[in-house]
């Protein structure tokens, strides 16, 4: 039996999520909370196995703050962060906070069920949103290979180190870098890397 706590300050969404899970024989919704301040004391009392936690809530405690604190506990519950905003920075914040998984509120009931069950089985479910990230004034998307290179640039790797990491030639790295600059309109790779870091895609460089 999975003992589940659900936390969302939007009443309609909270009720909808409860309905998704309460009809399952292997899941018990032990608490459905609309206020972030109640999460920790209720956890102390009920000891849920998993918490489905909204990332943005009214009050002094956001889902990220709560996730960090809950994960510092002995035998912490599984934490699934959810949001209605498709902003990649939320994904990075959830990972940094120690969340086990991440799901969008627009997901289907089956997707919510799968996310919970896989998370309880030890998997980490995070959506692949790389193709949704846009860069530059024109809001262009980058290919998977370009994004791989950009991430390594943000780790301050040289062209040779990037080539070795991705098993490609230095010339190929240079080609992709030139293509990224052309598409995004950035005059330098540093400018593009700063934009990527500011969007939470590639940590390592900050203004």
Measured distance CA(134)–CA(200) in Å, rounded: 12
CA distances for 55 relative to 91, 133, 171, 175, 192, angstroms: 10, 20, 42, 39, 28
Q: Is the pTM of this model over 0.75?
A: no
What is the reported pLDDT for 137? 77
What is the reported pLDDT for 29? 97
Measured distance CA(132)–CA(87) in Å, rounded: 9
The answer to whether the beta carbons of residues 34 and 14 sit under 8 Å apart is: yes
200: left (phi over 0), alpha (psi -120 to 50) or beta: left
- The candidate with the shortest Cα–Cα distance to 8, out of 42, 38, 32, 43, is 32
Q: Tokens for 23, please give them.
A: 């009809």
| Residues 24-74 pLDDT 10s | 999 999 999 998 899 999 999 999 999 999 988 766 678 889 999 999 999
- Calculate what percentage of the chain has a pLDDT beyond 70: 89
| Residues 119-132 pLDDT 10s | 999 999 988 655 46
For strands 27-33 and 134-135, give the pairing: unpaired
Domains by residue range for the chain, with CATH:
2-127 (3.40.50.2300), 131-198 (1.10.10.10)
What is the reported pLDDT for 58? 65
């Amino acid at each position: 039996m999975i003992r589940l706590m659900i936390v969302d300050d939007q009443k309609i969404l909270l009720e909808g999520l409860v309905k998704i899970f309460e009809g399952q024989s292997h899941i018990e919704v032990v608490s459905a909370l609309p206020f972030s301040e109640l999460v920790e004391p209720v956890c102390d009392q009920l000891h849920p196995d998993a918490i489905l936690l909204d990332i943005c809530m009214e009050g002094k405690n956001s889902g990220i703050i709560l996730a960090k604190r809950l994960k510092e506990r002995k035998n912490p519950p599984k934490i699934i962060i959810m949001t209605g905003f498709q902003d990649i920075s939320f994904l990075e914040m959830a990972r940094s906070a120690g969340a086990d998984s991440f799901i969008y509120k627009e997901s289907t009931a089956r997707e919510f069920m799968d996310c919970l069950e896989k998370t309880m089985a030890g998997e980490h479910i995070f959506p692949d949103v790389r193709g949704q990230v846009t860069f530059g004034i024109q809001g262009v998307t980058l290919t998977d290979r370009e994004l791989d290179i950009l991430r390594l640039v943000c780790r301050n790797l040289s062209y040779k180190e990037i080539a070795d990491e991705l098993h490609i030639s230095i010339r190929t790295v240079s080609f992709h870098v030139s293509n990224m600059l052309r598409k995004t309109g950035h005059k330098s790779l540093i400018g593009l890397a700063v934009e990527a870091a500011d969007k939470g895609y590639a940590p390592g460089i900050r203004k």
